[in-house]
Amino acid sequence: MIHIISAANHHLYEDVLEEHFRIRHDIFVEERRWETLRKPDKREVDSFDNEDTIYLLALEGRRVIGGHRLYPTTKPSMMSEIFPHLAEVRGCPSDPLIWEWSRYFIVRDRRDGNLNLQLMAAVQEFCLAEGIAKISAIMETWWLPRFQEAGFVVAPLGLPALVENAWTMAALIDVSRDTLRAINERTGLSSVIQRQGPHLDAVARANLYRERNEMTRKIA
Amino acid sequence: MSAIEYGREALDFIEGLNGYTEVPAAMDALERTFCRFGFETIIVTGLPNPDQKFSQMVLAKRWPVEWFKLYTENNFDRVDPVVRHCRRSVHPFEWAEAPYDAERELGAAEVMRRATDFRMVRGFIVPIHGLTGYEAAVSLGGVDLDLNARSKPALHLMAMYGFDRIRHLLDPTPDPPSRLTRREREVVAWASQGKSAWEIGEILHITQRTAEQHLANAASKLGAVNRTHAVAIAIRNKIINP
């Protein structure tokens, strides 16, 4: 199952989150060679890992086998702060109903197909439940046909460019029942997410930042 | 054109693609757009496995009839260095970037040379790698091309969306046979020829255990009770050709 971990229930998942930061270092730095993410303590943590991040982690017992994270676009996001040039044509979204999706990973021994589809299903299932309408993402362009094959509707925000030697693009993905249905048909599962403990209202949280942004603009 | 103009043109084109509900109309749109970059030929195609014919894999094409005949009759896809490189690359590339040994690989040299007789002097190919081992590509050719660092990202994205639209129009439901990985299809194809797991391992340069594992995975995906049943289902569903 894929667990939803936020500021509201992270006390139930301290060990899991810690392991996940180490796995991210192992995959994104050691395996994929994103050297800018390298950390001396071998924990891959960046400025988008904070009290507003929601982690979707696939667990087998207490072992992390895959996952990704969501981050509100009403705060400065990876797209707006690091890759705005990738969204040059249509612009970076900033909306409580749009969350940024990143750090998609699967541990090496589980890259056999079905977990990948479950992780794709998880983001759709979670966002539908929360009322999130779209997901923004910086993704390697060669993944586009894979998402499309799974039934994702993906709109580009700009042209691809090379990032760490890989063609990379900015996109906006629809959250839709049709997409979830198509993936569930392939996995044979009707639900993949699991919640434990208190639950954080994602859209309400993102709205707080929008109000704060508007206040700051007015004051300025 | 500036980078942002290329970007606007590409995204407008991509957003308009959903308006085409027939393959010929979608291909006309692709042809018109790629023509503006100087391209004269387009092919949207799956890449064949050892047991598939190239001609069956083509989704849509605007190729000179004579060239397609020559290409398929001579099984040029088996020696085409662009096809070979496409399987290994997730990034788009110019045809000229596909490596081959001109002295030793005479077939490869011949395909590249004969293509130029059909105004396919330079080209750009965008590889597609699907979820379950499906391999495909959009390949564009011509003589006098607007093919440079600024136009390539636009062509890259338009080709990928063009592929998706054509695939969707040809087959609105996901294709169950594509659920087997390439390796699984290969081992089932060899099993259908009466080869044992040990022999398949030798042929594919994998261990007997790995071959058995692929066979078991294929059988479970096909809902088969054993190896023989898996072969029968795979043939019946045209996943492999007997």
Per-residue pLDDT reduced to its tens digit, B19-74:
999 999 999 999 999 999 999 999 999 999 888 999 999 999 999 999 999 999 99
Write down the pLDDT at residue B224.
74
Residue A169: both structure tokens together: 């693009």
CB contact under 8 A, B91 and A160: no
Boundary of a domain, candidates B150, B170, B190: B170
**Beta-carbon separation of B14 and A89 below 8 A:** no
Task: Look at residue B241 and tell me if it is in a domain.
Answer: no
Q: Are residues B121 and B41 in the same domain?
A: yes
Closest-CA distance of chain B to residue A150, Å: 8
Provide the pLDDT for residue A207. 93
Q: pTM for this structure? A: 0.82
Which pLDDT score, from 0 to 100, does residue B228 have? 84
- pLDDT on residue B174: 47
- Residue ranges of the domains in chain A? 2-219
**Residue type, position B124, single letter:** F
Burial class of residue A154, CB neighbours in 10 A (0-12, 13-18, 19+): buried
Query: What integer pLDDT is reported at residue B177 of this predicted model?
Result: 43
pLDDT of residue B6: 95
Please report the ipTM that was assigned to this predicted complex.
0.93
Same domain, B107 and B209: no
Examine residue B130 and state whether it is found in any structural domain, yes or no: yes
Burial class (CB in 10 A: 0-12, 13-18, 19+), A125: buried
B95/B10 same-domain check: yes
The helix (run of H) or strand (run of E) holding residue A54 is strand A54-60
- For an interface test with B, the pick among A89, A181, A185 (most B C-beta atoms closer than 10 Å) comes out as A89
- The answer to whether the beta carbons of residues B125 and B86 sit under 8 Å apart is yes
Order of all β-strands in the sheet with B58-62: B58-62, B39-46, B135-142, B122-129, B93-94
Question: Per-residue pLDDT tens for A98-112?
Answer: 999 999 999 999 987
pLDDT digits (tens, 9 = 90+) for A15-58: 999 999 999 999 999 999 999 999 999 999 999 999 999 999 99
Q: Taking residues A87-101, what's their average pLDDT?
A: 97
Say yes or no to pLDDT of B179 above 90: no
The mean per-residue pLDDT over the stretch B128-141 comes to 93
Cβ contact A160–B90 (<8 Å): no
- In the numeric block, which tokens belong to residue A110? 């589980």
Asked if B150 and B223 sit in the same domain, the reply is no
Whole-number mean pLDDT of chain A?
A: 95
Q: Compare B177 and B162 and report the one with higher pLDDT.
A: B162
What count of other Cβ atoms lies within 10 Å of the Cβ of residue A137?
A: 24
Q: One-letter amino acid identity for A151?
A: G
> What's the pLDDT score for residue B172?
62
Answer yes or no: do B88 and B161 share one domain: yes
- Are residues B226 and B144 part of one domain? no
If we measure between CA atoms, which residue out of A74, A70, A36, A72 comes closest to residue A55?
Answer: A70
Tokens of B104: 């030793």
Mean pLDDT (whole number) for B175-203? 82
pLDDT in the model for residue B178: 47
pLDDT for A212: 84
Mean pLDDT of A83-92: 97
The answer as to whether B92 is a domain residue is yes
Q: Which of B87, B91, B163 to mutate to test the interface with A (most CBs of A within 10 A)?
A: B91
Q: What pLDDT shows up at residue B221? A: 78
Residue B15 zone, left/alpha/beta (φ > 0; ψ -120 to 50; rest):
alpha
Residues B160 and B199 in one domain: no
Comparing C-alpha atoms, which of B75, B57, B144 is closest to residue B111?
A: B75
pLDDT in tens, A195-206: 999 999 999 999
Cβ–Cβ gap B131/A148 under 8 Å: no
Instruction: Specify the pairing of strand A98-106 against strand A134-140.
Output: parallel
Q: Smallest Cβ distance to A160: which of B4, B136, B156?
A: B156
Min CA distance, A4 vs chain B (Å)? 25
**By three-state DSSP, how is residue A72 classified?**
strand
Nearest C-alpha in A relative to B134: A146
The reply to whether B242 falls in a domain is no
Residue A82 pLDDT > 60: yes
The model's pLDDT over B192-242, given as tens digits with 9 standing for 90+, comes to 988 998 999 888 888 888 898 888 888 877 777 778 888 888 887 778 876
Residue B198 covered by a domain: yes
Supply the pLDDT for residue A211.
84
Query: Distance between CA B223 and CA B217 in Å, rounded?
Result: 10
Note the CATH architecture for domain A2-219. 3-Layer(aba) Sandwich (3.40)
Same-domain pairing of B87 and B111: yes
Q: What is the pLDDT of residues B83-109, one digit of tens each?
A: 999 999 999 999 999 999 999 999 999
Rounded Cα distance, A146 and A137, in Å: 14
Split at pLDDT 50, 70, 90, the class of A220 is low
Pair A161, B6: CB distance under 8 Å: no
* CA distance readout (Å), A80 to A50, A138, A144, B1, B101: 17, 11, 21, 25, 46
B93: closest chain A residue by CA: A167
Domain of residue B184, residue span: 176-236
* H/E run at residue A99: strand A98-106
Judged against a pLDDT cut of 70, whether residue B173 lies above it is answered with: no
